[in-house]
Amino acid sequence: MSAALGWMCLTDLPVPDELAALLDHLATHETAQLMAPLPWMRAAEHAAGNGLQRCLRTMLHPDTPDAEDRRDDPWS
């Protein structure tokens, strides 16, 4: 999960379908709980969901209202 998030941060390439499917499969509540102590996940937490879900939603679907409302947020 961390490597996939890192790759998505470092490139402007579209996320391959296989990677998107893997992220959907691995982005469980348990994974979010394991990643929650990370500083960037704590900073990304939002009323709309945990940090992992918010990161994925913002990175995979940048046109969502949460992403648009937080454009100045360095973690989005």
Residue 24, token pair as written in the block: 């959907």
What are the beta bridge partners of residue 46? 49
**Digit-coded pLDDT (tens) for 8-26:** 989 989 999 999 999 999 9
6: pLDDT strictly greater than 60: yes
- pLDDT computed for residue 25 by the predictor: 93
54: pLDDT strictly greater than 70: yes
What is the pLDDT averaged over residues 43-60?
Answer: 82
Query: What pTM was estimated for this model as a whole?
Result: 0.71
- pLDDT computed for residue 68 by the predictor: 47
Collect all residues with Cβ–Cβ distance below 8 Å to 50 and sequence separation of at least 6. Answer: 29, 32, 36, 41
67: pLDDT strictly greater than 80: no
Q: SS3 for 49?
A: strand
